[in-house]
Chain A
Amino acid sequence: MKAAVIVFPGSNCDRDLQVSLRIATGNEPLMVWHGDSSFDDVDLIAVPGGFSYGDYLRAGAMAAKSPVMREIIARANKGVPVLGICNGFQILTESGLLPGALMRNAALKYICKDIHLRVETNDTAFTRGYATGDVLRIPIAHHDGNYFADPDTLDELEQENRVAFRYTNAQGEQSADANPNGSQHHIAGILNKNRNVLGMMPHPERLADAALGGEDGKRMFEGLVRAIA
Chain B
Amino acid sequence: MKARIHVTLKNGVLDPQGKAVEHALGSLGFDGVEDVRQGKYIEINLSETDPAKAETQARDMCEKLLANTVIENYSVEIA
Contacts and interface: CB of A to CB of B under 8 A. Distances in A.
A and B touch in their complex, CB below 8 angstroms: yes
A148 B20 contact: no
A149 B68 contact: no
Contacts of B17: 104, 108
Contact of B65 (A61, A93, A100): A61
Interface residues of B, number: 11
A108 B19 CA distance: 10
A126 to B, nearest CB: 23
Contacts of B70: 93, 99-101, 148-150
A146 B71 contact: no
Given A106-B16, A108-B16, A148 B65 contact: no
Nearest to B64: A65
Interface in A89-109: 93-94, 99-101, 103-108
Given A100-B70, A107-B16, A182-B14, 14 more contacts: A58-B68, A61-B65, A94-B68, A99-B70, A101-B71, A103-B14, A104-B16, A106-B14, A108-B16, A108-B17, A146-B16, A148-B13, A148-B14, A182-B16
Interface of B: 13-14, 16-17, 20, 64-66, 68, 70-71
The 5 closest A-B pairs by CB, nearest first: A101-B70, A101-B71, A106-B16, A104-B16, A101-B68
15 contacts: A58-B68, A61-B65, A61-B68, A62-B65, A65-B65, A94-B68, A99-B70, A100-B70, A101-B70, A101-B71, A107-B16, A108-B16, A108-B17, A149-B70, A182-B14
